[in-house]
Amino acid sequence: MDAVQKANSGHPGTPVSLAPLAYTLWQKFLNFDPANPIWPNRDRFVLSAGHASMLIYSMIHLAGVKTVGENYSIINEPAVSLDAIKNFRQLDSKTPGHPEYHWTSGVETTTGPLGQGLATSVGMAMAERWLAAYYNRPGFELFKYNVYSICGDGCMMEGISNEAASLAGHLKLSNLCWIYDNNRITIEGHTSLAFSEDVATRFIGLGWNVTRVANANDLDMIERGIKCFHHTSDRPTLVIIDSLIAWGVPGKEDHHSAHGEPLGDAAIRGAKINYGMDPDKTFEVQDGVYQHFQDLLGKRGADASAAWKKLFEEYKKVHPELAKQLELMEKRELPEGWDKDIPTYPADAKGKAGRIASAEVLNAIAPNVPWLIGGSADLAPSTKTRLTFKKDGKEVAGDFEATNYLGRNFHFGIREHAMGAILNGMNLSKVRTYGSGFLIFSDYGRGSIRIGSIMEIPVLYIFTHDSIGVGEDGPTHQPIEHLASLRAMPGLTTIRPCDSNEVVEAWRFIMPIKHEPIVLVLTRQDLPTLDRTKYSSANGLTRGAYILADASKGNKPDVILIATGSEVSMCIEAHEKLVAEGIKSRVVSIPSWEIYNHYCSKNPGYSEEVFPTSVRARVAVEMASTFGWEKFVGLDGVTIGMRSFGASAPLKDLQKKFGFSTDAVITAAKDQIKKINSGDVVGLGSGRASTAFIKLLGEKVKAGFKVQGVPTSEDSASLARSLNIPLVTLEEAIGNISCAIDGADEVDPDLNLIKGYGRALVREKIIAASAKKFIILVGDDKIVSKLGSRGKLPVEVVPFGAALVKHKLHSLGIHGEIWMKNGTQGITDNGNLILDCIIPPTLDPAKLEHSIRTIPGVVDTGFFIQMADVVLVGDNNFNLIKESFRK
């Protein structure tokens, strides 16, 4: 209560009402040594209702749990001090809003998203069963621990809990106990708003033992409920505890306001009085409490931990090989020679599917790493993740099931979300886990993948059927946005190999990883195995991106082709044809953006080596969303990718429909080269400042600078031609004009302009609107406080309507005279007349422009309202005095 109140944030109600449960469980049942909170045979306590984090922080503090340091060393410091509790939910405190594994010692898993902790606890229970089956020997019961998880109504509503409970019941995990806080409260109010099922009946149907404690404050009833779990040997147990949230807190008991907000000083004082505590004291730990925990939990745990350590010393003598495996496993290390049987693949035009190559590598590694275990969400025949390696001619891995906990092939059923959390729980028990499915269904497991990423644990996700290559299954089964989504997740590494040898290198990279989940993305369809005597070694994968093929021979390439996975071979084919035409192309395989980013952070020059900034002609190819590829192709490059969902058809038809072909890559490469070699496209204005700029540009072109111009007038076009500046039409340049540079006759403080003294105002405005940036060059004499202060406003009109326009302008208080040139009416490049108008200085040029443009016969005005991006002010010699930017 005090911690939440001080933080002015948190969830106080559940920790208050479940304090008797936590006390009973920790003091009388939990097999846990506070002085060694990571000894392998400890019971696991999971707070699935992670919002009630002050419950577990209080228990860790009172129990005196020690801190676990680097390399799993025990530090003689409290994992959660009283000061840490006082700093609940504060930056860098050991008491964050929800429990975080690896940050707070004594926290077995990160929880918060409801239901995640429950599913993770199933993984922990499954790991115990496997460890016991594999490593226990007669007289050496190294593994026999229980897993407890506290959950609430929200956990029960989440689908992941039902997925996990179903599997736990099927597997008869009698070492698993869920304790359900049935307080019937959610954030919005009573659970009757949205939840009326009979939870007990549901769990009986799922194959669980169910017992009920009718009073959450009755320690004897709680003890009997947990003993019921201990007496059950053929199924998991659900203990339902009927509680009142914020029990004993005046005005808050059994009310939803106690769930997620501070209780208030008055309510806390009242509660302390009800509990027999001093209401004037905060963060009080009464005399004898610490010793009480040491006498029960502390002594029981220390004795059990010491006995286990002694047993393991004997085990090492009798079963040295198994003991060595356990020591390596606990440190997340690998046995010597773990990769000695990994195959290599010769060049093969037909090749094989990524999933097939991965299966071969997996089954080459698994015999040498016995604790490498995993399975799929009912898709092993498709994802090829079943362990099929043989000994004496027989498959020996077996299936993990209720009658055989020794099996290494796990069947998670069609439960992707639970599978991910179960993998997390197993991995937290130090076994090395993998799970597989179709990439499209990674969305179903995303919440669990994210928790694994937060915890930094090396779970491996093998996702196959990675693109529209799925073909006939259609858009529901063709992943589009999934690669971008996974790449966006912090702490997660995604790898998409291009051929069998990159698959090999991916596994070599993955297995030694200790603190990071990995997604291995594989194809269903065959991939050509590249000739690595001709192209670079696949071990370039360890750098994330590498030059696979290069015709530039150490010089600057004409174009860079970039791809991942199945599209790399497409780029190789395009590369060979481009080289045959004399185009120096480079192919970069980029199997992992994350590995590349990490490698570049350690080797700052590598990015320039692979992707020279001077090479702007770039084409990226990936049969997935184009999102994010700008990082590699830049503003000038192009990405051939998916900008919609897919379709149901054979792969070749889909590739044709969506533009994935060697010819498409070649065309894009040539277009890029042409575009970049043509240089930037610049709008060329009219007037004195623009004339000076065009002359300067002519000098740059003469020196080799590549640029093209779009003139706004015949005068600027004539000048540009005389200086050999290449010109293009607006139709040719539309969408590619990087900037337009022009002068102005007046500029106000908001960067509104009057232009048109060069009599090309319509063309100037069109070019300005077409450019990505509109830059104005003026002398300081053109800066005014109000437009109209310095000169006249040009208004372009059709000749037939000139008289009407002049008359209408007069009614607005504007006097206009037709522009005369050499004694006759001047004609613009568009064949129109100009009225030079004297206007009253205005602070609202937009309103005045609107009034003028509504007059029939008006083509446009010299007002340029909020069009200039940058105004550069110079002196008579064009030395920069000031620059202003549009807000």
What is the Cα–Cα distance from 751 to 738, expressed in whole angstroms? 20
**H or E element at residue 707:** strand 707-711
Cα angle 203-31-401, degrees, rounded to a multiple of 5: 45
Q: How far apart are the first and last CA of the chain?
A: 49
What is the Cα–Cα distance from 123 to 131, expressed in whole angstroms? 12
What is the Cα–Cα distance from 71 to 56, expressed in whole angstroms? 24
Place of tokens 């460890």: 131
Residue type, 792: K
Phi/psi at 517 (5° precision):
-75, 150
DSSP assignment of 319-365:
-HHHHHHHHHHHTT---TTTTTT------EEEEEEHHHHHHHHHHHH
Q: Do residues 562 and 621 make contact, with C-beta atoms less than 8 angstroms apart?
A: yes
Per-residue CA distances from 656 to 468, 647, 649, 664 (Å):
12, 12, 11, 9
Q: Do residues 57 and 90 make contact, with C-beta atoms less than 8 angstroms apart?
A: no
Place of tokens 């409290």: 78
Token readout for 706 is 């590549």
Which are the contacts of 321, defined by CB distance < 8 A and separation ≥ 6?
none
Place of tokens 């791809």: 563
> From the candidates 253, 416, 764, 796, which is the catalytic residue?
416
3-state SS, one letter per residue, for 157-203: HCHHHHHHHHHHHHHCCCCEEEEEEECCEECCEEHHHCCCCCHHHHH
Q: String of b and e for 243-279 (b: at least 16 CB within 10 Å)? A: bbbbbbbbebbbbbbbbbbbbbeebbbbbbeeeeeee
Cα angle 33-169-210, degrees, rounded to a multiple of 5: 75
Q: Do residues 858 and 795 make contact, with C-beta atoms less than 8 angstroms apart?
A: yes
416 in active site: yes
What is the Cα–Cα distance from 430 to 332, expressed in whole angstroms? 7
Give the pairing type, strands 774-779 and 737-742. parallel
Token readout for 97 is 């809003």
Which are the contacts of 135, defined by CB distance < 8 A and separation ≥ 6?
142, 143, 322, 325, 326
What is the Cα–Cα distance from 22 to 16, expressed in whole angstroms? 10
Place of tokens 């009997």: 224
Residue type, 785: S
The residues assigned a catalytic role are 416
